[in-house]
A and B are shown apart, each in its own frame.
Chain A
Amino acid sequence: MPEKKQGSSDKVVGGNVDITRRTFLHKSLLTGGAIATGSAVGFFQTLSSMEVANAAGESFSFAWVSDTHLYPQTLNQRFIDKATRAFGEVQAMGSEFDFMIFGGDLAQRGDPVELELGAELLKEVTIQKHFIPGEHDWYLDLGEAWNQHFGESPWSFEHKGVLIIGLDTVGSAPDYWSARGMTPKERMGHMEALDGSQAGPWSGLGSKNRQWLSSALSDWPKDAPVIIFSHTPLWECYAPWNFWIRDWRQVHEIIAPWQNITNVHGHVHQPLYNEIGGMRSIGMLATSWPWPYAPQGVPEITKPMLRVDPGDHFDGVGWGKLSMADGYMDNEYMMWREQVFGTTRADSGTGDNQNQVLSPRIADRGWTGD
């Protein structure tokens, strides 16, 4: 695994962790706190961003782009156009950002042509870039091309008083291919379908990465801020779509002593927010397309996105701008539409979940190879 990298500042912040009003409102809603629910909801839902706390430290901003899911250009220009737009906007605002994180799923089928296309498009962004892989980047050649282009994960560095960690949550899937004699293309094909039955609980850190995480955190002050980037969320949102890491309980045991952790993740293609212990978790947009929300719904403290128009390729997608200013980190969804969140059943992306009983797909359950 790569050595721990050192960022542009080695300053360690040991001040108290503050909580912004918005985050406080989250907690109040979750626990039935003292604030009147009606007014809290009314205020909360007028906001288009979520703040997380860091009471001290220098200001900085960074950009998040993920889930471009590029096909070869001969097959799909649409996803190229959207990735290009995101990278162009990041570059146009480049002077505001200390770095950009690409959060995985650059490619759709792990095809070297797709990864090379992505690498070419990413040249548009000239600020410092960091990368973590997604499953679509990985399972054709088990990460070989990805690592050649974008380097290995996990990694960490300190930046202006914040420990920044990039995890690999995709590369340690239990082997579902060898016993069945799958070709690399077949292995990738089963990984490609979010709702497939064969790839199983592929998302996780695994023991090696958990040991690395424990080591990376070991000398960091317990009250100092940590940002963990991961492709998949570090909590159990919806296991059948791998909206989780399978070993989240073990990971939470590792991170429990640190009380100011922000997990920023991709994969879900939707605004998603949760708080567990000292960790807050923010789901980011894709540039490619939005996933529907998980069938069982979302945490109460998530503001669901507005329903999107499937006829508009640029609707419900975008990138993220995260700023640490005046001691607080603010996440702004740079969605390519005016209104981000839905507040009524008719407008909410979760509005129909209450009358939707779903079954896992069936056609791939008896798959034995062609």
Chain B
Amino acid sequence: MNRIHLVLLILFAVISGCDHGFEPPERGKISGTIIFKGKWPPAEEVRALYFGAAPFTPCSVDDIVARFSEVALSNDLNASGTGIEEATFSISDVNPAVYVYSGVYLQYGPTVLEIKPVGVFSENNGAFIVSSGQTTEIDLTVDFDQLPPFPPASCSP
């Protein structure tokens, strides 16, 4: 039976040393272009503009703050000043998920609670998917003359 023991030992070594298959994949990316239309608010009311994508539908600013870690957020789109017609963004290291409420948030005051959406992604009912290692392209238009309702209609009881 010595041969058999040897075979078993080899098998054990093979099993222990083999690869572990599927690993948590790379995160995804979101990039896109924002077109701005309409009359911009006064410069002192535009502290920052962000593109944010949430895997939940926020019914209040508190909702956003409470689950802020789940929101994929871009850098400030307004860094180069107000009145721009177009801005591009790219968010890396995005958790792969289905994002159901996304848009451009205007921060009009000094705290994070002083934000409101000024443009909302509405294609496919506002939902898009971010898959591991892939880039999802999102384009949307912000019309300062026609701001989206907030909270959104789906929050109505």
A, B in one complex: no
Q: Which residues of A contact B (CB under 8 A)?
A: none
Q: Which residues of B contact A (CB under 8 A)?
A: none
